[in-house]
Structure 1
Amino acid sequence: MERIRLGNTVFEGRNNAYLLPGDRPTLVDAGVATDSVRRDLREGLAAAGNEVADLEAIVLTHWHADHAGLAAELQAESGAPVYVHADDAGIVAGDPDAVSAERSIRERRFDEWRIPGEPRAEVTEYLDGHEDLRGGRVDVTPVEDGDRIAAGDGELEVVHLPGHAAGLSALAFDGERGAGREAYVGDVILPKYTPNVGGADLRVDRPLETYLDSLARLADLDFKRAWPGHRDPISDPAGRARVIAEHHRERTERVVSVLDERGPTDAWTVSAHLFGDLSGIHILHGPGEAFAHLDHLVAEGIVAPPDDEGRYELLDADPDFDELVAVPETKR
């Protein structure tokens, strides 16, 4: 396997793509559709003795542009099938109904979260101004949890781990020389920061609960190593899943504290107390994460559903946070 490091000046920093050489050369993730990333990818393939035309499969961990943007042109040049989980297939394919539905949810959430006019206009301009980074329409082969894809000299098992994105999936494989199971994990877990939940994919229902369930499943699978979509390999994926769950438990406590101190409060205001001033894509991610926690607290009966002004009222100022946000046990 060859890790190809891709630039990414638009979103959250450098990306990883992974080349699996062998009988069926396969690329895991494709990077954002910019000229500099095109060069990075082609140079990385060439350094491994391959070119785009050699690819016989492209597998995407999820639909975000920094993971799927170049898939269309790589497919056009290589003829390779593009695999992605069925929940993300419509957006990757560029299906107008799927893209329109995602945008409609965005507008509804912006209303519900009470994002003010100026930052709302800024983030809308940011998102609409980067539509081209998604790349062109793709002929997608949808996959489901448990499916196996021939890749390189072996196969990848699809492990659906939604939360950050509805279709986000790890791709599990046997490590070299009997080292145990490993996985390409996209943005399920990252080594240095926590993946956004609530704003990164507005289609996800109960985003925090969904993500916590995925962290628990990832920990239970006990992969020996994880290869993330950004930065360096993770040597203890279960331990990292635990750290991220603990982070969300602490954030849940902070959200409760904000409501306790301020009284009924909307998601935008809660976000301001959590993250301060926001710009660019973070105008989406900040209130999205606040919403994910508020939504979880509503479902657990700790907070009342939002009123007509989008304000959440605290019902229980002293909940059991260990019960609210379970942290998975590690096996090491």
Structure 2
Amino acid sequence: MRLDTSLHRIGNDIVAAYLVVTPEGVTVIDAGLAGHWRELVTELATLRLTVADIRGVILTHGDSDHVGFAERLRRDHGVPVFIHAEDAERAKGGPKPATAKQQMRLGALLGFAAYTLRKGGARTRWLTEVIEVQGGETLDLPGSPQIIGMPGHSAGSIAVYVPVADAVFVGDGLTTRHVLTGTEGPQPAPFTDEPAQAIASLQAIVDTTAKWVLPGHGAPWSEGVEAAVAAVESAATGPR
């Protein structure tokens, strides 16, 4: 799905991944679920591109519903995969800390589980090799993506700011659709290791002044990063 010039999404409001498309090639940000591979190839074909045009994958963190087809791109097509050093082992199938009990509604939970299974969530191929980033880098990839440390959801969560797309990709730094309750609008993401730290980390993306805020779960937000962050902070302190 084309969102804007240079900016495309695959998946849906349950689980999404993104493409930054430039004359120099494609940068993939997050890799969704394994079954999103077909959507990736189809979206590229609509642009008269192929997997060979992908220059790199950046993972906002190492959870299975963001790792998806990344290892397939790396192993079969030689595409480098970038992730923060603190999440490298998580992306390789390493341990994930237990989180607090989650609020949920049965319908939303079942919808998330069914979609995840349908898209290959039970057959995740974990990464075997990654390129580690630390935060603060501008990568030599299409769109010149800038890495912003966003610890909280996980120790190595990052945001990715791409000026040419006027977009900041936030992974699970926030969500616009809670996968366990179905509640819509900017809010804290579930399954977060350190909830208070995740909220505090949002200040790191405000200075981008990006129009687009693009989470791994939920509808794309085009009303600006400052409004999105304010909404999440309000949701975090309001009635739950």
TM bucket (normalised to shorter chain) is 0.7 to 0.9
Counterpart AA for 1:41: L
Q: Match of 2:31?
A: 30
The CA RMSD measured in Å over matched residues stands at: 2.6
1:209/1:14 Cα in 2 relative to 1: closer, same or farther (>3 Å)?
closer
Q: Indicate conservation of the 8 Å contact 1:64/1:134, yes or no.
A: no
Q: Match of 2:76?
A: 77
Q: Indicate conservation of the 8 Å contact 1:170/1:186, yes or no.
A: yes
1:222/1:56 Cα in 2 relative to 1: closer, same or farther (>3 Å)?
closer
1:87/1:40 Cα in 2 relative to 1: closer, same or farther (>3 Å)?
same
The counterpart of 2:129, out of the listed 120, 131, 139, is 139
Counterpart AA for 1:210: Q
List per-residue Cα deviations over 1:163-189 (Å, max 9, x = no partner): 22322211112236xxxx532222323
1:150 paired to 2:140: yes
Task: Give the C-alpha shift of residue 17 in structure 1.
Answer: 1.9
SS in 1 for 2:140: strand
The counterpart of 2:212, out of the listed 207, 214, 225, is 225
Task: Give the C-alpha shift of residue 238 in structure 1.
Answer: 0.9
What TM-score do you get using the length of structure 1 for normalisation?
A: 0.56
1:161 paired to 2:154: no
Q: Indicate conservation of the 8 Å contact 1:53/1:77, yes or no.
A: no
State how 1:24-103 maps to structure 2 within 5 Å.
24-34=25-35, 37-94=36-93, 99=94, 101-102=95-96
Counterpart AA for 1:13: I
Q: 5+ residue gaps in structure 2?
A: 1-5, 102-112, 177-183
* Structure whose CA Rg is larger: 1
The structure where helix makes up a greater share of residues is 1
Task: Give the C-alpha shift of residue 149 in structure 1.
Answer: 0.8
Task: Give the C-alpha shift of residue 19 in structure 1.
Answer: 3.5
Q: 5+ residue gaps in structure 1?
A: 114-125, 252-273, 275-332
What TM-score do you get using the length of structure 2 for normalisation?
A: 0.76
Q: Match of 2:189?
A: 196
1:32/1:18 Cα in 2 relative to 1: closer, same or farther (>3 Å)?
same
Q: Indicate conservation of the 8 Å contact 1:65/1:133, yes or no.
A: no
The structure where strand makes up a greater share of residues is 2
List per-residue Cα deviations over 1:35-84 (Å, max 9, x = no partner): xx221111011112222233221111122222211100111222011001
Q: Match of 1:16?
A: 17
The number of residue pairs the alignment matches comes to 210
Counterpart AA for 1:218: I
What percentage of aligned pairs have identical amino acids?
23
1:6 paired to 2:11: yes
1:244/1:223 Cα in 2 relative to 1: closer, same or farther (>3 Å)?
same
Task: Give the C-alpha shift of residue 248 in structure 1.
Answer: 1.1
Moved segments of 4+, more than 6 Å: none
Counterpart AA for 2:73: L
